[in-house]
Structure 1
Amino acid sequence: MNRRVYYGGLVFVAVIWGSTFPIIKNALLFIDPFSFLFLRFAIAAAVIFPFIVKKMTRKDAVYGSIVGIPLFLGYVTQTIGLKYTSPSMSGLITGLYVVLTPVISIFILKTGMDLTKIFLTVAAFVGMGLMTVNSASGEILGNALTVVTAIAYALQIVLTEKYLVDGDPLVFTFFQLLVVAVLSLLFDPSSAGKMYLMENHYVLFAVLFNAVFGSTLAIWIMSIAVKNTNAYISALILILEPVFAVLVSTFFFGFPVTSWMLAGGAIILISMVLAINRENRKRS
């Protein structure tokens, strides 16, 4: 399949994940983080289960479960962090994974890190920084938790490239989702008894949107794309996530657009396009 299809898939994932920041932020006014995560990922895993029940292998189960651990760490710290910081600041700090992914790849995947990669990675991060000029600083706790999110997401992307070499992306995704649901329940066993919280229409929307689109579909597409590209290029495309977080926050939740945001978004787009073109030239 043409690699542009995978790049397009990653852009779609960035759109979905970017839109979840303000949605989750508002949902947390009515539901606690662990209950939200349990409901979200239990539903997401249930959606996939009928399609993979006859395709499960021990290898996919083990590797998918391993990768599910940093995924859980990333989601729980990001969700709790959103209670204490703004969606735009959370998006910026989460985007640190674009810097951390190639660094972690050096140790786990034994990949190189040349000057061009370093330049494009730093440029993309500078773009994220510009997008949040004049944003609320947020609480120290929320920002600190979101730094852990960035580390966990970078590790999850790298481990996906390492373990999903010849496995089934959908089965691999199922076990990641299942691990997040189970660990969320273990950390707060009362979550299983809070289905009544979904009687709130906004919570119902937030849980279902994040379960079907933000978890099942997005993580499955990301797994396929990482398998057929690499962790570095995937992370660089996914840095569009905070761009879309700002856009959704602006058009649907009333956050203002500044010239800094436009400049930062332009730098991110240019960095991403240059990185993709460079990767394509290397493979042609």
Structure 2
Amino acid sequence: MKKMYANLMLVSVTIIWGGGFIATAEALDSVSPFYVMMIRFMGASILPIMISFPKLKRLNRKDIKHGIIAGVFLFFAFAFQTFGLQYSTPSKNAFLTATNVVFVPYLLWLLWKRKPNRKEIIASIVCLFGIALLTLKKEAMMLTYGDLLSLICALFFALHIIALERYSAHIDAIAMTAMQMLTAGILSTICALCFEAPPASWNASAIGNIAYLIFVSTLLAYLIQTYAQKFTTANTASLILSMEALFASIFSFLILHEVMSVQMIIGAVFIFASILYIEYQPKKTIKKQQI
């Protein structure tokens, strides 16, 4: 598959997650955080396990370890994001979560000596500036305890993106998704049973939102992401996936009738510009690569 098509698939993931942001917020009105995570990850693991069970049985220990590592990163990312949201504002949480675009190139440098080039550094800074314009308000500049948790969440999302780049190329996408979902689901179940009370009641809205989180925002989105990252880089993936904040704002405008300011529109332009910049290759460069 061409990298362009893989990147378009990642864009579809951000659209799904943009709607998932609203579904998660509404689901948390009725169900506690770890129970939401338990239900979405365990629910999302069932179908890929059933489909890929013959392939899962043939995986070696190294592949299984890689799937578990990706699932652990995913669990901690969502856990820190959820608790960060309890002590911070949604806009700051969205912004700080998206700082994984800056973490990714430097983690690749730290862990695998892959030094970021000037283009990757500029693109990540431009993208971060755009996300700040899109999500932050003037009164939200001071860091709090919740903001620290959100930054840790961003670190784990960055590690998850890198793990998929390194490990998914050698493992079937459905099998990799199954291992991620099951690992995150088991850890969420342990935390839910230990630290939270089960939901006392369910309403139709909560059931609908949970269904969206299981089948669309989790199963479909992570299956697409896992497959697409076989054909693109972690740096590009992190930039594209940061568009979740953009589509969350668009859905909030369309569905919740929130105001879309000029500042937010300018922020969206900067995010798009960063992605176009990192992907743009002059014709001379392309010809050299073909020779």
TM-score with structure 1 setting the length: 0.91
More displaced 10-residue stretch of structure 1: 209-218 or 106-115: 106-115
Task: Summarize deviations over 1:220-242 as a string: whole Å, max 9, x none.
Answer: 11111212111011111111111
The aligned counterpart of 1:162 is 166
Q: Following the alignment from structure 1 to structure 2, what is the Cα–Cα distance between the partners of residues 279 and 105?
A: 25
Q: Following the alignment from structure 2 to structure 1, what is the Cα–Cα distance between the partners of residues 79 and 246?
A: 22
Task: Summarize deviations over 1:157-212 as a string: whole Å, max 9, x none.
Answer: 11111222321111111111111110011112269984764x32222122111111
1:20-99 correspondence to structure 2 within 5 Å: 20-56=20-56, 57-58=59-60, 59-99=62-102
Q: Is it true that 1:17 corresponds to 2:21 in the alignment?
A: no
Q: How large is the Cα RMSD of the aligned pairs?
A: 2.3
Q: Following the alignment from structure 2 to structure 1, what is the Cα–Cα distance between the partners of residues 27 and 143?
A: 19
Task: Compare CA radii of gyration and give the structure with the larger one.
Answer: 2
Q: Unpaired segments of 5 or more residues in structure 1?
A: none
The aligned counterpart of 1:179 is 183
Q: 1:23 to 1:190 in 2, by over 3 A?
A: same
Task: Summarize deviations over 1:83-141 as a string: whole Å, max 9, x none.
Answer: 34333322211110011011111123332212121111101100111112437739934
The aligned counterpart of 1:132 is 135
The percent of aligned pairs where both chains have the same amino acid is 25
Question: AA paired with 1:160?
Answer: L
Cα pair 1:47 1:212 within 8 Å, conserved: no
Q: Following the alignment from structure 2 to structure 1, what is the Cα–Cα distance between the partners of residues 84 and 47?
A: 27
Cα pair 1:13 1:238 within 8 Å, conserved: yes
Q: Following the alignment from structure 2 to structure 1, what is the Cα–Cα distance between the partners of residues 264 and 236?
A: 23
Q: 1:172 to 1:192 in 2, by over 3 A?
A: farther
Question: Residue 278 of structure 1: SS of its match in structure 2?
Answer: coil
Question: Residue 259 of structure 2: SS of its match in structure 1?
Answer: coil
The aligned counterpart of 1:256 is 259
Q: Is it true that 1:215 corresponds to 2:218 in the alignment?
A: yes
1:234-245 correspondence to structure 2 within 5 Å: 234-245=237-248
Q: Following the alignment from structure 2 to structure 1, what is the Cα–Cα distance between the partners of residues 143 and 209?
A: 24
Q: 1:113 to 1:61 in 2, by over 3 A?
A: same
Q: 1:92 to 1:107 in 2, by over 3 A?
A: same
The aligned counterpart of 2:229 is 226
More displaced 10-residue stretch of structure 1: 231-240 or 274-283: 274-283
Q: Following the alignment from structure 1 to structure 2, what is the Cα–Cα distance between the partners of residues 135 and 28?
A: 27
The aligned counterpart of 2:280 is 277
Cα pair 1:60 1:168 within 8 Å, conserved: no
Q: 1:279 to 1:206 in 2, by over 3 A?
A: farther
Q: 1:206 to 1:190 in 2, by over 3 A?
A: farther
More displaced 10-residue stretch of structure 1: 209-218 or 35-44: 209-218
Cα pair 1:133 1:260 within 8 Å, conserved: no
The aligned counterpart of 1:188 is 192
TM-score with structure 2 setting the length: 0.89
Cα pair 1:38 1:192 within 8 Å, conserved: no
Task: Summarize deviations over 1:53-96 as a string: whole Å, max 9, x none.
Answer: 11111343221011111110001111233334333322211110
Cα pair 1:173 1:219 within 8 Å, conserved: yes
Question: Residue 16 of structure 1: SS of its match in structure 2?
Answer: helix
Cα pair 2:31 2:199 within 8 Å, conserved: no
Q: Following the alignment from structure 2 to structure 1, what is the Cα–Cα distance between the partners of residues 282 and 92?
A: 30
Cα pair 1:165 1:227 within 8 Å, conserved: yes
Question: Residue 227 of structure 1: SS of its match in structure 2?
Answer: coil
